[in-house]
Amino acid sequence: MKQPVRVLVVDDSALMRKLIPQIIERDPSIHVVGTAMDGTFVAKKIQELQPQVVTLDLEMPRMDGMETLRLLTRERLPVIVVSAHSTQGACSTLKALSWGAFDFVTKPKDAASAHMEEIAAQLIAKIKAAAKSSVLPAVLEQATSSPKSLKEEGRTAGPATRVIAIGVSTGGPNAVHYLLAQLPADFPAAILIVQHMPEGFTGMFAQRLNDACAIDVKEACAGDLLLAGRALVCPGNRHMKVRRMPLGNMVALTDEPAVNGHRPSVDVLFQSVAKAFASTAVGVLMTGMGEDGAEGLGQIKAAGGMTIAQSEDSCVVFGMPKTAIERGYALRVVPLEAIGATLQAECRLSGQLAEVRG
């Protein structure tokens, strides 16, 4: 019989140290081996209890969550951050992800037992994925030069030659950061990104990407134009679609029901892009749990577009890309470090073909 996943719960709240074990141990494949009230106890607990996964609160006294995270990542232990759903919580969580946290869940605003049920399934799934993963998120290196110097002052973005739709989940923030940082300021395509992330986090995520990349990145607003060298991140708790309009192609945001358990959903974006742009569309399905985006990638392929899946060896979780590959929807399977170059080559080829036809 397979041994249950051994979990250490680190939280300064006595209530959380009681509730988190209660909700996750309902799954018989998970066993909470212990709890700790802050980071000063963690090193000893790791040696004694040998956990496989750690859940971590970031707001703690004495040794805080970020210092504790540094300790845990040095030990190669996957960490699920249990974050406050607040502006400060979002900022700390995104920082934790850049420092190597595996993933996060957000605490309900009212953390009573009944409300903790809202995150139970999500937390259990992420703990299981963390225990199985052989690839931990890379710690992002700080840029040695100011990214703002890479942006071309006064550059006017024109219409995009291609529309690139990217879908990503667990492991995504660092993977997307890495990918977009490879692209030059004059990149000729428009980029649309669905990252599974809650409301209130995506705007800050987009701002961090914008600060780190030569291309422009922003959280999408309804009516935003699809412009060359600009990436639009779907807001949390919305779906993102595209519309072809006489004055320019643009983004539409909707509040339709969740798809595949997600809002935003990658499938919603991919299906819309396939319908609107057909052979000029590019779909990129990256690291993440589940199957969201697989069928949408298939629709982009059926419409004549290019489809790319991230390779298993470079995925933190090989769920979404694996499903698309197994169904025959990925024309290319590419490691993370080569996706940027692949997209640039695809755009160059598209431009050469347009010149020939012209």
Per residue in 297-311, pLDDT tens?
999 999 999 999 999
**Residue 354: per-residue pLDDT:** 44
Distance, first Cα to last Cα, the chain: 65
Q: Where in the chain is the domain with CATH 3.40.50.2300?
A: 5-132
Give the active site residue among 177, 196, 239, 262.
196
pLDDT exceeds cutoff 80 at 352: no
Q: For residues 108 and 89, what is the distance between their CA atoms, to the nearest angstrom?
A: 12
Give the active site residue among 38, 103, 267, 292.
292
Q: Could you confirm whether 292 is annotated as catalytic?
A: yes
Give the active site residue among 169, 265, 311, 350.
169
Return the CATH number of the domain spanning residue range 5-132.
3.40.50.2300
**Residue 226: per-residue pLDDT:** 97
**Residue 351: per-residue pLDDT:** 57
Q: Where are the beta strands (DSSP E) in 187-243?
A: 190-195, 216-219, 230-233, 239-243
pLDDT, tens digit, 9 for 90 and up, residues 66-96: 999 999 999 999 999 998 777 788 999 999 9
Q: For residues 316 and 133, what is the distance between their CA atoms, to the nearest angstrom?
A: 6
**Residue 38: per-residue pLDDT:** 85
Mean pLDDT computed over 134-156: 61
Record the pTM: 0.92
Q: For residues 183 and 233, what is the distance between their CA atoms, to the nearest angstrom?
A: 16
**Residue 116: per-residue pLDDT:** 81
Compute the mean pLDDT over every residue in the chain, rounded to the nearest whole number: 90
Q: Could you confirm whether 196 is annotated as catalytic?
A: yes
- β-partners of residue 249 are none
Phi first, then psi: give them for residue 241, nearest 5 degrees: -130, 175
Q: Where in the chain is the domain with CATH 3.40.50.180?
A: 157-357
Cβ-based neighbours of 149, under 8 Å, separated by 6 or more: none
- Assigned architecture for domain 157-357: 3-Layer(aba) Sandwich (3.40)
